[in-house]
Structure 1
Amino acid sequence: MIWHGQLVLTLARTEGETGRLLGSCFPINSEYLATAFHVTQGNDRNLVASFPAISNISDYQDTSIGYFNGNSVKIVASDPIRDLCLLKIPDDWSATIPYRIGGTDTLHPGSEVDVYGYPHMEFGRRVMTLQRSHVGAKVLLSNQGIKSKHVVVNSHLRPGQSGGPIFDAHTGTLCAVAIGSYAPSTSGSIIVAGVDPTTLHQTGHAVSAEYLEGMIP
Structure 2
Amino acid sequence: MKKLFLAAMLILAFTVNAFAIPSSFSPVVKKAAPSVVNISTTKTVTRQIDPFFQDFFGGMFGGTHPFGFGNSGLQKYKSTALGSGFIIDRDGYIVTNNHVIEGAEEIIIKFQDDREFKAEIIGTDPLTDLALLKIDTKGANITPILLGNSDTAEIGDWVVAIGNPLGLGGTVTAGILSAKGRVLGDGPYDNFIQTDVSINPGNSGGPLVNMDGEVIGINTAIIQSAQGLGFAVPVNMLKNILPKLKKDGKVYRGWVGIVMQPLDEQLAASFGLSDTKGVLIADVTKGEPGDKAGLKAGDVIVAVDGRQAQTSRELAGIIGSKSPNERVVLTIIRDGKRQNITVRLGERPSNNQTAANYYNVKPKQRAGDIVVKDIDAQQARKLGISNGVIITSLNEDTQAYKKGLREGHVIVLLNNKAVNNENDFYRIYDKIKKGDLMAVKVVLPNGSNFIAFAKSE
TM-score range, shorter chain: 0.7 to 0.9
SS at match of 1:158: coil
- Please tell me whether the aligned partners of residues 174 and 198 of structure 2 are also in contact (alpha carbons under 8 angstroms): no
1:207 lines up with 2:267 in the alignment: no
| 2:220 is the alignment partner of 1:179 | yes
Aligned to 1:79: 125
Which residue number corresponds to residue 108 of structure 2? Answer: 48
Residue 379 of structure 2 aligns with which residue? Answer: none
Residue 69 of structure 1 deviates from its aligned partner by 5.5
1:147-162 pair list within 5 angstroms: 147-162=189-204
Shift, 1:26, TM fit: 0.8
Take 1:14 and 1:133, find their aligned partners in 2: how far apart are those partners?
A: 32
In the aligned structure 2, how far is the partner of 1:49 from the partner of 1:157? 20
1:36 aligns with 2:82: no
Q: CA deviation at 1:110?
A: 0.7
1:31-180 residue pairs with structure 2 within 5 A? 31=91, 32-41=93-102, 43-53=103-113, 70-92=116-138, 93-97=140-144, 99-121=145-167, 126-141=168-183, 143-144=186-187, 146-169=188-211, 171-180=212-221
Larger Rg: 2
- Structure 2: how far apart are the matches of 1:104 and 1:27? 18
Specify which of 16, 20, 41 is matched with residue 13 of structure 1: 41
> How far, CA to CA, are the matches of 1:2 and 1:13 in structure 2?
28
Normalised to the residue count of structure 1, the TM-score between the two structures is 0.73
Q: Please state how far the C-alpha of 1:29 moved relative to its aligned partner.
A: 1.3
Distance 1:100 1:13, change over 3 A: closer
Which whole-Å CA distance do the structure 2 matches of 1:10 and 1:165 have between them? 12
Distance in 2 between the 1:127 and 1:133 partners?
19
Among all aligned residue pairs of Structure 1 and Structure 2, give the percentage whose two residues are the same amino acid.
24
The answer to whether the Cα contact below 8 Å between 2:217 and 2:232 also exists between their aligned partners in 1 is: yes
Whose helix proportion is higher, 1 or 2? Answer: 2
Distance 1:112 1:178 in 2: 15
CA contact (8 A) 2:162 2:206 kept: yes
Q: Distance in 1 between matches of 2:120 and 2:84?
A: 15
Q: Bigger relative contact order, structure 1 or 2, given CA contacts below 8 A and separation 6+?
A: 1
Preserved CA contact (<8 Å) 1:114 1:166: yes
In the alignment, structure 2 segments of 5+ residues that lack a partner are 1-26, 44-77, 247-457
TM-score by length of 2: 0.36
CA contact (8 A) 2:34 2:143 kept: no
Give the superposition deviation at 1:164.
Answer: 0.3
Residues of 2 paired with 1:96 and 1:128: CA distance?
15
